[in-house]
Structure 1
Amino acid sequence: MKRMKSLAATVAVAGAMLAVPAASAAELTPAQVAGDTQLSEVRELTPTEEIEGQKWYQKYADDDRVLKLEATSPAMDGRAVPLAVIKAQNPDRPTIYLLNGAGSAEQDTDWLNQSEAVEFYADKDVNVVVPQAGAFSYYTDWDVSPNQSYLKGPQKWETFLTKELPGPLEAHLNANNKRAVAGMSMSATSSLLFAQHNPGFYDAVGSFAGCAATAAPFEYEALRLTVNRGGGEPEQMWGPMGSQKNRYNDALMNSDKLRGTELYISSGNGLPGETDMPSYYTGQGVNPAAASVGAATLQIEGGVIEAAVNHCTHNLEAKLKSQNIPATYNFRDTGTHSWPGWREDLEKSWPVFEKALF
């Protein structure tokens, strides 16, 4: 009887494993996604005074591990977008598009300045592309440009990053047809949407502390808090709350389109951890008064934001599980909406990306 029960349990487990669909390799090429869209021109970066003043450029201007490129965007009136590229050691390697959060390089809150991304990816033999612009844009296509503050001129970031750029850039890098996209905070939402809007184009997606939902009242107002900082309104971006375009850009509503893609999804819970305490910063030589003020901001503002993100991310987890779509989750026991968690995500997402890309 025990052997029969054991056999039955084994069969049940095996059946459950077979019922969970494994992520399949992406097959779409950049040319197929681009269609008749006019493509970017990729070239060496000509640094402007603004770029020369940014900390990432000052840090890596003479570092051969980082290619300094720029790519034009026909959809944004020929705008030249700076790109920091951690180059693979060999040709025919995959590409990871690593998107910055709300302030991006314009506010020195980018991956190169705020993390050890260059050091981490330097020996991974993968191309890592970080667009060093796009502050407060959600890396999406806006209906109407605010044309002020950080959001001047046409805002057609999704067209640029998914249609105009991949073909010319990946050819420039001698890359293969394997790719991933990842982002943190604002761009964690964008990364999910890029994959949903282009099924079969990305082998893996990383969503680090973002909110998939955008079309419900609370989540729509969260959009407003972000884009207001850049001089815009969500109505200018995706139209009124619940509109067709808003719903199209709600990654929770469209979660079924993530099927077949390897997923890494993370969040803290808003409770302060070791890296949110004044002692963490005084230990690094920060003035005690400044450390106390910074820690208070992290614990209050960062805590509230991350608690909301945690709620969003658990909703996405529940939805994906109900659809039998597998993902790797990293729910941290503590952590505010801040860089220590996203630095951890670089490392913990790598096994998911490596599995999908290699």
Structure 2
Amino acid sequence: MRFGRSAVSGAAQSGRSARRGWSARLSAAAAILAIPTAAAVAIPTVAQAAPVFGPVHRTPAGGYEELMVPSSMGPVKVQVQWASNGGDRALYLLDGLRARDDRNAWSFETNAMQQFANDNITVVMPVGGQSSWYADWTSASNTNGQKYTYKWETFLTKELPDFLAGYGVSRTKNAVAGLSMSGPAALRLAAYNRGMFKHASSFSGPLNWNAPGMREAIRVMMLDAGRFNVDSLAAPWSPAWLRMDPAVFAPQLKGLPMYISAASGLPGQHDNPNSAAAVFNTSTAMGIEALSMVTTRLFQQRLNSLGITSAVYDFPANGTHTWKYWEDELWKARPHILAALG
């Protein structure tokens, strides 16, 4: 993985770090998040992008790398599949509530990299951020001894694009997609950074944060996924909290191409439970997806009330809160993403 200063002459340094990834067991009442598992393999290389005024180092077009990117949170691992023909566009794929420290689940739970392998677009998959909502927190979580304060929005909109600019990736020609926890985050990042993101996708995201009981549901989810404290994210009903509610920042999405989806929660082609544990997990995923669908429908109504018509919606009749359905939705979103990025 690349770390340190990029040696244009070919010198390399070594370094490692990991952030965190995910899996899922939430109660339906706790609502709306994700369920990954297993692993993937990659061969790390080393070096860091040098001054951001021009590309100084790039792997062969279409290659895969793991970068260690400096940030205010410490080095953050980022998995990257470079554009097939060296293009400067990028798609940021954000992980879910139980994001792991070693891999972004898009890289091993789905065929996301294969979907874009022949496209002239770089796939960027940040690693870590369990229970973070990809936000800038007001303080470190005090319920699990967190040693630093999450500053994910700063990382994704400033530190990471500045770093990638040294590899020839544009700061202004990007798309962002998220599922579950990162669905509202993807929309938020695009809403507040219109100069950076040209398209945003939300798959099965909780898109109404101020519905009755939603904050406490989020509290339960975050305690379950790493014992994180929602009050460290933002104080109840504070400006910082309201800023993260898609229904509140919806006006800032006007004119932004979007792809927004959630399924009914009824089992479909990817649900084949063959054990008692699998039946339990499927039933949980059914309830969570149904709640995701309700909040997504409410968000659709909110956009309609604002006269925002730039979103494409998909509400499949079958599908639970699991990765293979998000893989399907990414494939459906793909032509819209590519069109928005030109």
**Equivalent residue for 2:64?**
66
Pair 1:170–1:311, CA change in 2 (3 A)? same
Aligned to 2:294, the other structure's residue is in SS state helix
Contact 1:98 1:128 in 2 (8 A): yes
User: What is the deviation of 1:272?
Assistant: 1.4
Separation in 1, partners of 2:315, 2:337: 18
Q: 2:127 is matched with which residue: 118, 128, 132?
A: 132
RMSD: 2.6
Structure 1 stretches lacking a partner, 5+ long: 1-39, 279-290
Separation in 1, partners of 2:122, 2:19: 25
**Equivalent residue for 2:175?**
180
Pair 1:50–1:198, CA change in 2 (3 A)? closer
Aligned to 1:154, the other structure's residue is in SS state coil
Residue 236 in structure 1 maps to residue 232 in structure 2? yes
**Equivalent residue for 1:211?**
206
**Equivalent residue for 1:306?**
289
Aligned to 2:41, the other structure's residue is in SS state helix
Q: How does 1:45-84 map to 2 (within 5 A)?
A: 46-48=15-17, 56=39, 58-61=40-43, 65-74=63-72, 76=73, 79-84=74-79
Pair 1:48–1:234, CA change in 2 (3 A)? closer
Separation in 2, partners of 1:295, 1:59: 26
Counterpart of 1:59, as a letter, is: V
User: What is the deviation of 1:151?
Assistant: 4.6
Larger Rg: 1
Identity across matched positions, percent: 31
Contact 1:270 1:304 in 2 (8 A): yes
Structure 2 stretches lacking a partner, 5+ long: 7-12, 21-36, 46-61
**Can you list the C-alpha shifts for 1:290-310, whole angstroms capped at 9, x where unaligned?**
x32343133321111111100
Separation in 1, partners of 2:19, 2:159: 24
Pair 1:48–1:174, CA change in 2 (3 A)? closer
Pair 1:152–1:268, CA change in 2 (3 A)? farther
Residue 321 in structure 1 maps to residue 290 in structure 2? no
Aligned length: 300
Pair 1:329–1:294, CA change in 2 (3 A)? farther
Separation in 2, partners of 1:273, 1:166: 38
Q: How does 1:31-46 map to 2 (within 5 A)?
A: 46=15
**Equivalent residue for 1:348?**
332
Counterpart of 1:304, as a letter, is: G
Higher helix share: 1
Contact 1:137 1:151 in 2 (8 A): no
Counterpart of 1:46, as a letter, is: G
Pair 1:266–1:152, CA change in 2 (3 A)? farther
Aligned to 1:97, the other structure's residue is in SS state strand
Separation in 1, partners of 2:85, 2:171: 11
Q: How does 1:125-274 map to 2 (within 5 A)?
A: 125-146=120-141, 149=144, 151-175=146-170, 177-228=172-223, 229-240=225-236, 242-274=237-269
**Equivalent residue for 1:292?**
275
Separation in 1, partners of 2:93, 2:171: 17
Contact 2:19 2:100 in 1 (8 A): no
Q: TM-score, normalised by structure 1?
A: 0.77
**Equivalent residue for 2:88?**
93
